Amino acid sequence: MFGSTVLEVAVGVVFVYLSLSLVCTAANELIASLVAWRGRNLATGIRNLLNYRDNEELFRGIYSHALFQSLYRDRSKLPSYIPPRTFALALLDRVVPAGSAARNSLDGMRGAVREAAAQKVIDKQVSDTLLVLIDDAENAIKETVTDVGKARTAFSLVQERVETWFNDSMERVAGWYKRKTQALIFALALVFTFALNVDSIMITKRLSSDTTLRAAVIGAAEKSAQPPSAVVVAPAAEAPAPAPVPGQEGVEARTTAAYQAIVKNQTALQSLGLPLGWADRQNWPQGEGWPLYWDWLSKVMGLLVTAGAASLGAPFWFDMLSKVVSVRSAGEKPKSSG
């Protein structure tokens, strides 16, 4: 019946995809931690923001600013998160040094920006941007009708606009990182799928014919679909890593956690009794009933389907598993007695 077999097979297949996705996500986190990917990606975004091709010194000056020192846990690793306020203060301090009288008025800040551009402290692109932000701050003062709003300093208004400029740019940087991550996860999905021989077609056939195996997988899937008590699938594991708080968690801790997550989820996947791996000759193409090359073609197609599915990410499959388990638990509607 549809409610008993097809849905159970679907739950099992989705659970396999979820488990493999978690392995790929953990492996991606491990690689990102080892090569300081987030920090490098962030530095590239800030370099582009500051037009570093014309002025690398500005980038180095900001990254060596005193306000940035607390962001470094290891001087050999670039910080993976920079608060917008810290960036804004560091940049403005390069243009309008602390204690300068120019900070007291918008006209003074305009003059400081032009002088910094003339002295090659900043390039024309950055100076033009800062001048536009200063003009925007001036318009905001003119439009403000409350005494509290008018009392705000010129420097604080410009600082807020620099922070907004930084945040808008970091949204693009986040997009770059996401695309790189998706490409890496797909590559990792291919590697783990072929290494573990996670063949969607073979797994579907085995689940359809083996009642005992299907029951075991269903039990593990139902347990994992109930956060936060899930053992294999924990919400923290499948969610994208939040921006780290400086000094709270080091690269070593993230690397160790990622490695442990890979081992944990890979072991859980292999312990289900599914036809995985290459050690068992039964998991190889047999060529029974048709030419052997057709069986190999089916094998390759099954592996590619698995890799593509796993690359969709653990959050997608966790949500899908919850829905499928919910549908299965609801069962068929009782027939009307009338």
Q: Where are the domains of the chain?
A: 2-35+183-330, 39-169
Distance between the two ends of the chain, CA-based, in angstroms?
23
Q: Tell me how far the alpha carbon of residue 101 is from its chain's centroid.
A: 43
Query: pLDDT tens for residues 70-88?
Result: 887 766 678 888 999 999 9
Q: Are 65 and 73 in contact (CB under 8 A)?
A: no
Is residue 103 within 8 A of residue 155, CB to CB? The reply is yes
For the chain, where are the alpha helices, taking DSSP H only? 7-34, 37-49, 56-63, 84-95, 106-118, 124-143, 147-150, 154-196, 200-209, 211-224, 235-238, 251-270, 292-310, 314-330
Percent of the chain with pLDDT over 90: 25
In 3D space, the residue among 265, 235, 258 whose CA is nearest the CA of residue 31 turns out to be 258
pLDDT at position 69: 84
pLDDT, average across residues 11-36: 87
At 165, the pLDDT band (50, 70, 90 cuts) reads: very high
Residue 258 binned pLDDT confidence (cut-offs 50, 70, 90): low
Average pLDDT over residues 202-216: 89
d(CA 322, CA 330): 12
Which pLDDT does position 99 carry in this prediction? 86
